[in-house]
C-alpha cells in the first residue's frame, strides 16, 4: 500500500477531526463570510510525485483556497435560487460520503440505500400532499429531472404515434406546448433530440408569466386529435407565477397529452397553508420536477423526478440497461438503473431523509412561510425606496425589481449589481422581465432573518446613493 495512503488510513480519526474543525469554523462564521469576491486570488499547485497526505492537503487548501469560498449557503445570498443546508442535511451528506453507496437495487444484497431512497420519495409525496400514484427518483438537479421526465414523455409520444423511440429513434413531429419554460427544459429538449424549434409558445395572461389556458385550447383545437407534450410552470423564475393547474387538469380530460410540471422550487408552496392553492390540480400531472437543493435546503446536488406509476413501462423502455441481462426483469425487480439516466448513483436521498425526519412537516412549513414573509417585506421596502420599484407583484419567495428611472435602465442595473456584489454583504443576480432589465432576489434559505432582509435594503440604497454621486 502507498505510504501516504497507509498513514492516512491509520490517522482517519485525526483527518475527520480536522475536517470537522474546519466545518464548524466555517459554519459558525458563515454570516461574516463574503457572498461574492471581486477578484479571487489563488495559486494552483502542481501534482506532486509523492503526495502530501490528507492533513497537509487540507492545510494547503486552507492556505490557498479557503478565503475564496463564498457564503453561497449563507443567509444573504439571494442570487439565482440557492438554498442553504440544514444541520441535519449536512450530517446526512457527510455520512453519504462515508457510506459511499452506489444506490441501485431495492432488493440488493444488504443494500438498504435504494429502499431508503424509495422511502424518502414517499416522505416527499407526503410533504407535498401528492398521492401515492407517483413513484420517484433522486437526480442531480432540475435539469436532469426535467430531462428524465421529458425522456419518458418522448417515449409516450412515440407510442401514441405507433413507434418506439427507444428502439427506433426519434421521428419529426413532436409538439411541445409551453409558455415560460425554464432554460433547463429547453436544454433538455435539445439533449433529447426534440429540439427547441418544436416548442409552440402559448401566450400568457396580460402582465403575467402564467399560461393563458384559453389560448392553449385554441392552439390544441387546430389539431385536436394529435398527441403533444405540455410543460407547465409550477413557479417561474422571475416572478414565481404558476400556470393554472386545475384548468390544465380539465383539459387533460378532453385531449391526449403528456403533462409535465416544472416545480423546481415552486413545489414547496405546497408546504404553506396560504400558498398551496397555487398547485391545486398538479396531482393530475404525468411527471413533476422538484429541486431539493433549493428550498429543501440540502447540499448540492439533489433533485427528484416524480412520474406516475402507470407510466413505469415507458420509463423502463427509456432507461433500461437492455444489454445487461444480470439486472433482471426491470418491472419485477425494481432497480433505479432502469428508471433514470445514471448507472452510478450517489446516495442522494440520505441528506433529504435526515432533514425530513429531523424537522418534519412543521419545520418545512416554517421555512417556506418565513421566506415568503421575508420576500413580501423586502418587496414593500423596495417600493418605499427612492431608487427602486417592483417590476411584478411578490407572489411567493422571489422579488423582481428594477430602478425607477427608465433612461439607461440596463446600464444602471448592471452598475448597481456590480457595486452591490463587490461589497460582499449581499449577492443578487440580473434578469430580464417583459423586456425590462431587472434584479432578482430569491428567499430560500432557512438561515435568513429579518436583519438580513434589512441589510439587503440598506446595501441597495447605499449603492444607489453612491452611483448617483458619481
Residue 166 lies in a domain: yes
> Do 220 and 262 lie in a common domain?
yes
Neighbours of 304 (CB within 10 A): 28
Q: Which long-range contacts (CB under 8 A, 24 or more apart) does 34-37 make?
A: 34/70, 34/71, 34/424, 34/425, 35/70, 35/71, 35/72, 35/74, 35/76, 35/77, 35/421, 35/424, 35/425, 35/426, 35/427, 36/70, 36/421, 36/422, 36/424, 36/427, 37/68, 37/70, 37/424
> Do 343 and 435 lie in a common domain?
no
Task: Give the pLDDT confidence score for residue 39 in this predicted structure.
Answer: 75
> Do 168 and 129 lie in a common domain?
yes
> Do 324 and 369 lie in a common domain?
no
Cα dihedral across residues 176, 441, 89, 101: positive or negative = positive
Task: Give the pLDDT confidence score for residue 326 in this predicted structure.
Answer: 55
Q: What is the pLDDT of residues 98-135, one digit of tens each?
A: 999 999 988 776 579 999 999 999 999 999 999 999 99
Specify the number of domains making up the chain. 3
Task: Give the pLDDT confidence score for residue 129 in this predicted structure.
Answer: 98
Given a contact cutoff of 8 angstroms between Cβ atoms, the answer to whether 316 and 158 are in contact is no
pLDDT over 70, % of the chain: 97
Domain containing 441: what range?
361-469
State the pairing for strand pair 303-308/134-139: antiparallel
Residue 66 lies in a domain: yes
Q: What is the pLDDT of residues 229-239, one digit of tens each?
A: 999 999 999 99
Neighbours of 178 (CB within 10 A): 23
Task: Give the pLDDT confidence score for residue 106 in this predicted structure.
Answer: 81
Mean pLDDT confidence for 450-460 = 98
CATH classification at residue 279: 3.40.640.10
Beta-bridge partner residues of 261: 232, 288
Task: Give the pLDDT confidence score for residue 327 in this predicted structure.
Answer: 56
Residue 268 lies in a domain: yes
Residue 76 lies in a domain: no
- Residue appearing with cell numbers 398538479: 282
Q: What is the pLDDT of residues 43-76, one digit of tens each?
A: 899 999 999 999 999 999 999 999 999 999 999 9
> Do 275 and 183 lie in a common domain?
yes
> Do 33 and 168 lie in a common domain?
no
Beta-bridge partner residues of 465: none
> Do 368 and 316 lie in a common domain?
no
DSSP-assigned letters across all residues of 196-260: GGGEEEPPBPTT-SSB-HHHHHHHHTTSTTS-EEEEEEBS-TTT--B--HHHHHHHHTTS-EEEE
Task: Give the pLDDT confidence score for residue 107 in this predicted structure.
Answer: 78
Residue 81 lies in a domain: no
Residue 367 lies in a domain: yes
| Least confident interval from 36-45, 305-314, 385-394 | 36-45
Q: Using DSSP, state whether 116 is helix, strand or coil.
A: helix
> Do 115 and 240 lie in a common domain?
yes
State the pairing for strand pair 257-262/398-403: unpaired
> Do 157 and 124 lie in a common domain?
yes
Residue 51 lies in a domain: yes
Q: What is the pLDDT of residues 187-228, one digit of tens each?
A: 999 999 999 999 999 999 999 999 999 999 999 999 999 999
pTM of the model: 0.96
> Do 406 and 305 lie in a common domain?
no
Residue 82 lies in a domain: no
Task: Give the pLDDT confidence score for residue 393 in this predicted structure.
Answer: 97
Sheet holding 388-390, edge to edge: 388-390, 398-403, 436-442, 429-433
Examine residue 421 and say whether the peptide bond preceding it is cis (omega within 30 degrees of 0): no
Q: Using DSSP, state whether 343 is helix, strand or coil.
A: coil
> Do 13 and 115 lie in a common domain?
no
CA distance 121 to 119: 5
Looking at 355, 389, 424, the residue that finishes a domain is 355
Looking at 355, 380, 395, the residue that finishes a domain is 355
Q: Which of 109, 110, 103, 99 is nearest to 137 (CA)?
A: 103
Task: Give the pLDDT confidence score for residue 333 in this predicted structure.
Answer: 76
Q: In the structure grid, which three cell numbers stand for residue 62, read together?
A: 486552507
pLDDT band at 330 (very low <50, low <70, confident <90, very high): low
Q: Using DSSP, state whether 171 is helix, strand or coil.
A: coil
CATH classification at residue 368: 3.90.1150.10
**For residue 207, is it left (φ>0), alpha (ψ between -120 and 50) or beta?**
left
Q: Which of 222, 179, 214 is nearest to 199 (CA)?
A: 179
Task: Give the pLDDT confidence score for residue 42 in this predicted structure.
Answer: 80
Looking at 18, 37, 71, the residue that finishes a domain is 71
Q: Which of 317, 342, 348, 411 is nearest to 116 (CA)?
A: 348
C-alpha triplet 334, 340, 341: angle, nearest 5°: 135
> Do 166 and 315 lie in a common domain?
yes
- Mean pLDDT score of the chain, rounded to an integer? 95
23 has pLDDT over 80: yes
CA distance 147 to 264: 13
Neighbours of 62 (CB within 10 A): 14
Given a contact cutoff of 8 angstroms between Cβ atoms, the answer to whether 295 and 367 are in contact is yes
Amino acid at each position: 500500500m502507498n505510504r501516504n495512503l497507509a498513514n492516512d488510513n491509520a490517522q482517519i480519526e485525526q483527518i475527520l477531526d480536522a475536517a470537522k474543525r474546519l466545518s464548524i469554523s466555517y459554519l459558525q462564521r458563515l454570516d461574516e463570510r463574503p457572498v461574492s469576491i471581486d477578484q479571487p486570488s489563488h495559486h494552483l499547485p502542481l501534482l506532486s510525485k509523492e503526495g502530501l497526505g490528507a492533513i497537509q492537503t487540507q492545510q494547503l487548501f486552507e492556505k490557498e483556497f479557503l478565503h475564496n469560498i463564498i457564503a453561497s449557503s449563507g443567509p444573504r445570498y439571494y442570487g439565482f435560487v440557492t438554498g442553504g443546508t440544514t444541520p441535519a442535511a449536512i450530517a446526512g451528506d457527510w455520512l453519504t460520503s462515508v457510506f459511499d453507496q452506489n444506490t441501485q437495487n431495492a432488493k440488493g444484497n444488504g443494500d438498504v440505500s435504494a429502499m431508503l431512497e424509495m422511502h424518502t420519495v414517499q416522505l416527499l409525496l407526503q410533504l407535498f400532499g401528492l398521492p401515492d400514484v407517483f413513484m420517484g427518483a433522486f437526480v442531480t438537479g432540475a435539469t436532469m429531472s426535467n430531462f428524465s421526465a421529458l425522456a419518458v414523455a418522448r417515449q409516450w409520444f412515440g407510442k401514441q404515434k405507433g413507434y418506439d423511440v427507444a428502439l427506433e429513434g426519434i421521428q419529426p413531429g413532436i409538439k411541445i406546448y409551453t409558455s415560460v419554460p425554464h432554460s433547463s427544459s429547453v436544454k433538455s429538449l435539445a439533449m433529447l433530440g426534440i429540439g427547441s424549434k418544436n416548442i409552440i409558445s402559448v401566450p400568457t395572461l396580460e402582465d403575467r408569466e402564467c399560461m393563458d389556458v384559453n389560448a392553449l385550447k385554441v392552439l390544441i383545437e387546430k389539431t385536436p386529435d394529435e398527441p403533444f407534450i405540455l410543460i407547465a410552470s409550477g413557479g417561474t423564475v422571475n416572478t414565481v407565477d404558476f400556470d393554472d393547474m386545475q384548468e390544465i387538469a380539465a383539459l387533460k380530460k378532453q385531449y391526449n397529452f403528456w403533462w409535465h410540471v416544472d416545480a423546481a422550487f415552486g413545489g414547496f408552496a405546497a408546504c404553506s397553508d396560504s400558498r398551496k392553492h397555487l398547485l391545486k390540480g398538479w396531482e393530475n400531472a404525468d411527471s413533476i420536477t422538484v429541486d431539493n437543493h433549493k428550498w429543501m435546503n440540502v447540499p448540492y446536488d439533489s433533485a427528484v423526478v416524480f412520474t406516475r406509476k402507470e407510466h413505469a413501462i415507458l420509463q423502463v423502455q427509456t432507461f433500461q440497461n437492455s444489454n445487461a441481462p444480470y439486472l433482471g426483469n426491470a418491472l419485477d425487480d425494481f432497480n433505479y438503473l432502469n428508471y433514470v439516466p445514471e448507472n452510478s448513483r450517489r446516495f442522494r436521498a440520505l441528506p433529504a431523509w435526515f432533514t425530513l425526519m429531523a424537522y418534519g412537516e412543521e419545520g418545512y412549513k416554517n421555512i417556506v412561510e418565513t421566506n415568503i414573509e421575508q420576500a413580501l417585506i423586502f418587496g414593500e421596502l423596495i417600493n418605499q425606496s427612492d431608487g427602486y420599484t417592483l417590476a411584478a407583484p411578490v407572489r411567493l419567495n422571489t422579488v423582481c425589481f428594477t430602478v425607477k428611472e427608465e433612461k439607461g435602465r440596463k446600464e444602471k442595473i448592471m452598475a448597481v449589481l456590480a457595486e452591490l456584489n463587490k461589497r460582499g454583504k449581499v449577492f443578487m443576480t440580473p434578469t430580464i422581465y417583459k423586456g425590462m432589465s431587472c434584479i432578482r432576489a430569491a428567499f430560500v434559505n432557512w438561515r435568513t432573518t429579518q436583519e438580513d432582509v434589512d441589510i439587503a435594503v440598506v446595501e441597495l440604497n447605499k449603492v444607489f446613493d453612491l452611483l448617483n454621486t458619481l
